[in-house]
Amino acid sequence: MTERVTRRNVIKTAGGAAGAAGLGSLAGCVGFGGGSGGTVKVSSKKFTEERILGYLAYEVLKENTDLNVVDKIGLGGTTQNFKAVKGGQVDVYWEYTGTVWTTFPPKHSKIVHDPKQLYQKVKDDLKSHDDLEMLARAPYNNTYVLVANPDWVKKTGVKTLSGLANYLDGGNTDTTIVMDAEFQQRSDGWPGLSKHYGFADAAKNVNIKNVGSDLSYQIVGKGQADIGMGFNTNPQILKFNLQVLKDDKQFFPVYNPAPVVNGKTFKNNPSMKKPLDSVGPKLTTARIRDLNKQVSIEKKDAHKVAKKFLSDQGLI
Protein backbone atom coordinates (compact mmCIF):
# COMPACT_ATOMS: atom_id res chain seq x y z
CA MET A 1 0.00 0.00 0.00
CA THR A 2 1.42 3.39 -1.02
CA GLU A 3 1.29 6.12 1.61
CA ARG A 4 0.65 9.62 0.33
CA VAL A 5 3.06 12.27 1.60
CA THR A 6 1.25 15.42 2.71
CA ARG A 7 2.18 18.45 4.75
CA ARG A 8 0.05 17.05 7.58
CA ASN A 9 1.99 13.75 7.55
CA VAL A 10 5.25 15.65 7.87
CA ILE A 11 3.99 17.86 10.68
CA LYS A 12 2.83 14.83 12.65
CA THR A 13 6.16 13.04 12.37
CA ALA A 14 8.70 15.86 12.34
CA GLY A 15 9.83 18.11 15.15
CA GLY A 16 11.81 21.34 15.53
CA ALA A 17 14.49 22.04 12.96
CA ALA A 18 14.20 18.55 11.50
CA GLY A 19 10.55 19.20 10.77
CA ALA A 20 11.34 22.49 9.11
CA ALA A 21 13.99 20.84 6.97
CA GLY A 22 11.58 18.10 6.00
CA LEU A 23 8.97 20.59 4.91
CA GLY A 24 11.53 22.45 2.84
CA SER A 25 12.57 19.31 1.00
CA LEU A 26 8.96 18.36 0.27
CA ALA A 27 7.77 21.77 -0.86
CA GLY A 28 8.31 21.02 -4.55
CA CYS A 29 6.49 17.68 -4.25
CA VAL A 30 3.38 18.69 -2.35
CA GLY A 31 3.09 22.32 -3.42
CA PHE A 32 1.21 23.56 -0.35
CA GLY A 33 3.51 25.56 1.93
CA GLY A 34 3.38 28.33 4.51
CA GLY A 35 0.92 28.87 7.32
CA SER A 36 0.67 30.08 10.90
CA GLY A 37 -0.99 27.08 12.54
CA GLY A 38 -4.18 28.97 13.42
CA THR A 39 -7.73 27.64 13.74
CA VAL A 40 -10.02 27.60 10.71
CA LYS A 41 -13.72 26.72 10.87
CA VAL A 42 -15.20 25.22 7.69
CA SER A 43 -18.97 25.46 7.20
CA SER A 44 -21.49 24.68 4.46
CA LYS A 45 -25.15 24.78 3.59
CA LYS A 46 -27.27 21.76 4.47
CA PHE A 47 -27.98 20.11 1.12
CA THR A 48 -25.95 17.19 -0.25
CA GLU A 49 -23.70 18.98 -2.72
CA GLU A 50 -22.77 21.70 -0.24
CA ARG A 51 -21.90 19.13 2.41
CA ILE A 52 -19.60 17.41 -0.08
CA LEU A 53 -17.97 20.72 -0.98
CA GLY A 54 -17.57 21.53 2.70
CA TYR A 55 -15.77 18.28 3.41
CA LEU A 56 -13.55 18.75 0.36
CA ALA A 57 -12.38 22.04 1.88
CA TYR A 58 -12.10 20.54 5.35
CA GLU A 59 -9.95 17.59 4.28
CA VAL A 60 -7.69 19.43 1.84
CA LEU A 61 -6.88 21.98 4.56
CA LYS A 62 -6.49 19.36 7.26
CA GLU A 63 -4.09 17.24 5.22
CA ASN A 64 -2.01 19.99 3.59
CA THR A 65 -1.60 22.68 6.24
CA ASP A 66 -0.70 22.89 9.92
CA LEU A 67 -4.04 24.58 10.65
CA ASN A 68 -6.45 23.35 13.29
CA VAL A 69 -9.46 22.70 11.04
CA VAL A 70 -12.89 22.64 12.72
CA ASP A 71 -15.95 20.95 11.20
CA LYS A 72 -19.01 23.23 10.99
CA ILE A 73 -20.48 21.46 7.93
CA GLY A 74 -24.25 21.83 7.52
CA LEU A 75 -24.39 25.13 9.41
CA GLY A 76 -27.50 26.47 7.69
CA GLY A 77 -28.79 28.25 4.61
CA THR A 78 -27.20 30.85 2.36
CA THR A 79 -27.82 33.87 4.58
CA GLN A 80 -26.60 32.14 7.73
CA ASN A 81 -23.35 31.01 6.11
CA PHE A 82 -22.70 34.39 4.50
CA LYS A 83 -23.25 36.29 7.73
CA ALA A 84 -21.12 33.79 9.64
CA VAL A 85 -18.12 34.00 7.29
CA LYS A 86 -18.36 37.79 7.05
CA GLY A 87 -18.61 38.12 10.82
CA GLY A 88 -15.80 35.66 11.52
CA GLN A 89 -17.91 33.03 13.27
CA VAL A 90 -16.71 30.65 10.53
CA ASP A 91 -13.81 31.09 8.13
CA VAL A 92 -14.66 29.39 4.84
CA TYR A 93 -17.63 27.92 2.95
CA TRP A 94 -18.46 27.34 -0.72
CA GLU A 95 -20.77 29.81 -2.43
CA TYR A 96 -22.12 29.96 -5.98
CA THR A 97 -21.30 32.88 -8.26
CA GLY A 98 -24.91 33.36 -9.34
CA THR A 99 -26.04 33.45 -5.72
CA VAL A 100 -23.54 36.18 -4.84
CA TRP A 101 -24.53 38.22 -7.89
CA THR A 102 -28.28 38.11 -7.35
CA THR A 103 -28.73 37.97 -3.57
CA PHE A 104 -25.78 39.65 -1.79
CA PRO A 105 -25.20 43.39 -1.56
CA PRO A 106 -24.61 45.22 -3.79
CA LYS A 107 -27.46 43.50 -5.66
CA HIS A 108 -27.57 43.53 -9.45
CA SER A 109 -30.59 43.43 -11.76
CA LYS A 110 -28.64 42.51 -14.91
CA ILE A 111 -27.79 38.82 -15.39
CA VAL A 112 -24.23 38.04 -16.51
CA HIS A 113 -24.18 34.78 -18.50
CA ASP A 114 -20.44 34.51 -19.18
CA PRO A 115 -18.99 32.33 -16.35
CA LYS A 116 -15.53 33.94 -16.29
CA GLN A 117 -16.89 37.46 -16.36
CA LEU A 118 -19.43 36.71 -13.63
CA TYR A 119 -16.77 35.10 -11.44
CA GLN A 120 -14.48 38.11 -11.68
CA LYS A 121 -17.31 40.53 -10.93
CA VAL A 122 -18.49 38.67 -7.81
CA LYS A 123 -14.91 38.13 -6.67
CA ASP A 124 -14.33 41.88 -6.88
CA ASP A 125 -17.64 42.62 -5.12
CA LEU A 126 -16.89 40.30 -2.21
CA LYS A 127 -13.40 41.73 -1.80
CA SER A 128 -14.37 45.41 -1.89
CA HIS A 129 -17.77 45.23 -0.20
CA ASP A 130 -17.32 42.50 2.41
CA ASP A 131 -13.56 41.88 2.80
CA LEU A 132 -14.06 38.30 1.66
CA GLU A 133 -11.80 36.32 -0.66
CA MET A 134 -13.33 34.10 -3.36
CA LEU A 135 -10.83 31.46 -4.49
CA ALA A 136 -10.67 29.24 -7.59
CA ARG A 137 -14.08 28.26 -8.95
CA ALA A 138 -15.31 24.90 -10.19
CA PRO A 139 -16.24 24.79 -13.91
CA TYR A 140 -19.62 23.06 -13.44
CA ASN A 141 -22.87 25.03 -13.34
CA ASN A 142 -25.27 24.02 -10.60
CA THR A 143 -28.03 26.28 -11.80
CA TYR A 144 -31.54 26.16 -10.42
CA VAL A 145 -34.01 24.26 -12.59
CA LEU A 146 -37.70 23.49 -12.44
CA VAL A 147 -38.34 19.78 -12.93
CA ALA A 148 -41.70 18.26 -13.86
CA ASN A 149 -43.32 14.87 -13.55
CA PRO A 150 -43.12 13.19 -16.99
CA ASP A 151 -46.82 12.22 -16.94
CA TRP A 152 -47.77 15.83 -16.20
CA VAL A 153 -45.59 17.01 -19.12
CA LYS A 154 -47.26 14.49 -21.43
CA LYS A 155 -50.71 15.66 -20.32
CA THR A 156 -50.04 19.41 -20.51
CA GLY A 157 -47.40 19.65 -23.23
CA VAL A 158 -45.40 22.08 -21.07
CA LYS A 159 -41.65 21.71 -21.68
CA THR A 160 -40.33 25.25 -21.17
CA LEU A 161 -40.68 27.97 -18.56
CA SER A 162 -42.49 30.10 -21.14
CA GLY A 163 -44.88 27.21 -21.61
CA LEU A 164 -45.40 27.02 -17.85
CA ALA A 165 -46.15 30.74 -17.76
CA ASN A 166 -48.78 30.37 -20.49
CA TYR A 167 -50.27 27.35 -18.74
CA LEU A 168 -50.62 29.10 -15.38
CA ASP A 169 -51.86 32.34 -16.94
CA GLY A 170 -54.50 30.25 -18.69
CA GLY A 171 -56.12 29.56 -15.32
CA ASN A 172 -54.43 26.28 -14.41
CA THR A 173 -53.41 27.46 -10.95
CA ASP A 174 -54.39 24.16 -9.31
CA THR A 175 -50.88 23.05 -10.26
CA THR A 176 -48.85 21.81 -7.27
CA ILE A 177 -45.24 23.01 -7.04
CA VAL A 178 -42.72 22.03 -4.34
CA MET A 179 -39.72 24.15 -3.37
CA ASP A 180 -37.70 25.00 -0.31
CA ALA A 181 -38.44 28.16 1.67
CA GLU A 182 -35.26 29.87 0.48
CA PHE A 183 -36.10 29.48 -3.23
CA GLN A 184 -39.62 30.77 -2.55
CA GLN A 185 -38.16 34.04 -1.24
CA ARG A 186 -34.95 34.60 -3.24
CA SER A 187 -34.81 37.19 -6.00
CA ASP A 188 -33.17 34.58 -8.25
CA GLY A 189 -35.84 32.09 -7.18
CA TRP A 190 -39.62 31.97 -7.46
CA PRO A 191 -40.40 35.74 -7.15
CA GLY A 192 -37.87 36.74 -9.80
CA LEU A 193 -38.74 33.81 -12.06
CA SER A 194 -42.48 34.52 -12.05
CA LYS A 195 -41.85 38.21 -12.75
CA HIS A 196 -39.32 37.51 -15.52
CA TYR A 197 -41.70 35.14 -17.31
CA GLY A 198 -44.77 37.31 -16.72
CA PHE A 199 -46.89 35.08 -14.48
CA ALA A 200 -46.48 36.87 -11.14
CA ASP A 201 -50.24 37.30 -10.67
CA ALA A 202 -51.02 33.67 -11.47
CA ALA A 203 -48.18 32.56 -9.18
CA LYS A 204 -50.07 33.95 -6.19
CA ASN A 205 -52.77 31.29 -6.65
CA VAL A 206 -50.51 28.28 -7.32
CA ASN A 207 -50.48 25.50 -4.72
CA ILE A 208 -46.93 25.81 -3.32
CA LYS A 209 -45.60 23.39 -0.71
CA ASN A 210 -42.32 23.88 1.13
CA VAL A 211 -40.07 20.81 1.30
CA GLY A 212 -36.36 20.20 1.69
CA SER A 213 -34.52 20.58 -1.62
CA ASP A 214 -33.30 16.97 -1.57
CA LEU A 215 -36.90 15.70 -1.27
CA SER A 216 -38.46 17.58 -4.16
CA TYR A 217 -37.24 15.14 -6.85
CA GLN A 218 -38.83 12.13 -5.18
CA ILE A 219 -42.09 13.98 -4.50
CA VAL A 220 -42.39 15.08 -8.14
CA GLY A 221 -41.22 11.70 -9.43
CA LYS A 222 -43.91 9.88 -7.47
CA GLY A 223 -46.62 12.24 -8.72
CA GLN A 224 -47.25 13.89 -5.35
CA ALA A 225 -46.51 17.25 -7.02
CA ASP A 226 -46.46 18.39 -10.63
CA ILE A 227 -43.32 20.54 -10.57
CA GLY A 228 -40.43 21.02 -8.20
CA MET A 229 -37.37 23.15 -7.64
CA GLY A 230 -34.15 21.34 -8.40
CA PHE A 231 -30.44 21.71 -9.06
CA ASN A 232 -28.85 20.91 -12.41
CA THR A 233 -26.21 18.58 -10.92
CA ASN A 234 -28.55 16.43 -8.84
CA PRO A 235 -28.58 12.79 -10.07
CA GLN A 236 -32.16 12.28 -8.86
CA ILE A 237 -33.34 14.10 -11.99
CA LEU A 238 -32.25 11.03 -13.96
CA LYS A 239 -33.29 8.54 -11.29
CA PHE A 240 -36.92 9.71 -11.39
CA ASN A 241 -36.92 10.45 -15.15
CA LEU A 242 -37.90 14.08 -14.52
CA GLN A 243 -38.34 16.64 -17.29
CA VAL A 244 -36.26 19.79 -16.87
CA LEU A 245 -38.31 22.77 -18.05
CA LYS A 246 -36.06 24.75 -20.40
CA ASP A 247 -35.11 28.26 -19.25
CA ASP A 248 -35.84 29.61 -22.74
CA LYS A 249 -35.73 33.29 -21.72
CA GLN A 250 -32.49 32.92 -19.72
CA PHE A 251 -33.57 33.91 -16.22
CA PHE A 252 -31.10 31.92 -14.14
CA PRO A 253 -27.46 33.04 -13.99
CA VAL A 254 -24.44 30.72 -13.90
CA TYR A 255 -23.81 29.06 -10.55
CA ASN A 256 -20.13 28.06 -10.32
CA PRO A 257 -19.12 27.22 -6.73
CA ALA A 258 -15.95 28.56 -5.14
CA PRO A 259 -14.54 28.77 -1.60
CA VAL A 260 -15.30 32.09 0.12
CA VAL A 261 -12.88 32.96 2.93
CA ASN A 262 -13.04 35.57 5.68
CA GLY A 263 -10.56 38.33 4.76
CA LYS A 264 -8.78 38.48 8.13
CA THR A 265 -8.47 34.70 8.28
CA PHE A 266 -7.08 34.64 4.75
CA LYS A 267 -4.41 37.22 5.59
CA ASN A 268 -3.41 35.44 8.80
CA ASN A 269 -3.31 31.96 7.24
CA PRO A 270 -1.76 32.18 3.76
CA SER A 271 -1.33 28.39 3.65
CA MET A 272 -5.08 28.11 2.92
CA LYS A 273 -4.88 29.42 -0.62
CA LYS A 274 -3.06 26.70 -2.58
CA PRO A 275 -4.93 23.71 -1.11
CA LEU A 276 -8.33 25.37 -1.59
CA ASP A 277 -7.43 26.58 -5.08
CA SER A 278 -6.53 23.01 -6.06
CA VAL A 279 -10.03 21.59 -5.53
CA GLY A 280 -12.43 23.64 -7.69
CA PRO A 281 -10.78 23.05 -11.09
CA LYS A 282 -11.07 19.28 -10.54
CA LEU A 283 -14.86 19.44 -10.17
CA THR A 284 -16.38 18.86 -13.59
CA THR A 285 -20.12 18.32 -14.07
CA ALA A 286 -19.62 14.55 -14.43
CA ARG A 287 -17.54 14.35 -11.28
CA ILE A 288 -19.87 16.35 -9.05
CA ARG A 289 -22.87 14.39 -10.31
CA ASP A 290 -21.07 11.18 -9.39
CA LEU A 291 -20.21 12.49 -5.91
CA ASN A 292 -23.81 13.64 -5.40
CA LYS A 293 -25.06 10.23 -6.55
CA GLN A 294 -22.85 8.40 -4.08
CA VAL A 295 -24.26 10.42 -1.19
CA SER A 296 -27.90 11.09 -2.14
CA ILE A 297 -28.73 7.80 -3.89
CA GLU A 298 -26.16 5.25 -2.71
CA LYS A 299 -26.34 6.69 0.83
CA LYS A 300 -22.60 6.88 1.37
CA ASP A 301 -21.13 9.22 3.97
CA ALA A 302 -20.40 12.68 2.50
CA HIS A 303 -17.18 13.06 4.48
CA LYS A 304 -15.79 9.72 3.29
CA VAL A 305 -16.84 10.39 -0.31
CA ALA A 306 -15.09 13.77 -0.29
CA LYS A 307 -11.92 12.35 1.24
CA LYS A 308 -11.72 9.53 -1.31
CA PHE A 309 -12.17 11.97 -4.18
CA LEU A 310 -9.30 14.13 -2.93
CA SER A 311 -7.13 11.05 -2.56
CA ASP A 312 -8.02 9.80 -6.05
CA GLN A 313 -7.14 13.20 -7.49
CA GLY A 314 -3.80 13.29 -5.67
CA LEU A 315 -4.75 16.31 -3.57
CA ILE A 316 -4.22 14.63 -0.20
287: domain CATH number is: 3.40.190.10
Does residue 196 sit within a domain? yes
Residues 173 and 126 in one domain: no
| pLDDT-derived band at 28, boundaries 50, 70, 90 | very low
What are the backbone angles phi and psi of residue 42, rounded to the nearest 5°? Answer: -105, 125
Does residue 15 sit within a domain? yes
Does residue 249 sit within a domain? no
**pLDDT at res. 108:** 87
More confident position, 268 or 13 = 268
The model's pTM is: 0.82
Question: What domain range is 13 assigned to?
Answer: 1-31
Residues 129 and 116 in one domain: yes
Residues 205 and 266 in one domain: no
Does residue 178 sit within a domain? yes
Residues 171 and 94 in one domain: no
Residues 135 and 2 in one domain: no
Residue that is last in its domain, among 213, 244, 275: 244
Residue that is last in its domain, among 225, 244, 263: 244
Rounded CA-CA distance 144/253 in Å is 9
Element (H, E) at 144: strand 144-148
Residues 82 and 222 in one domain: no
Residues 96 and 233 in one domain: no
Residue 242: what residue type?
L
Residues 128 and 155 in one domain: no
Residue from 226, 243, 264 nearest 91 by CA = 264
* CB environment 152-161: b (16+ within 10 A), e (fewer): bbeeeebebb
**pLDDT at res. 29:** 36
Residue that is last in its domain, among 195, 224, 244: 244
| pLDDT-derived band at 8, boundaries 50, 70, 90 | low
Residues 132 and 266 in one domain: yes
Residues 93 and 173 in one domain: no
Mean local confidence (pLDDT), 246-258: 96
Does residue 250 sit within a domain? no
Residues 182 and 222 in one domain: yes
Residues 41 and 134 in one domain: yes
The number of domains in the chain is: 3
Q: What would the pLDDT profile of 191-229 be if each residue is shown by its tens digit?
A: 999 999 999 999 999 999 999 988 999 999 999 999 999
Does residue 266 sit within a domain? yes
Q: What would the pLDDT profile of 98-108 be if each residue is shown by its tens digit?
A: 999 999 999 78
Residue from 313, 316, 293 nearest 69 by CA = 316
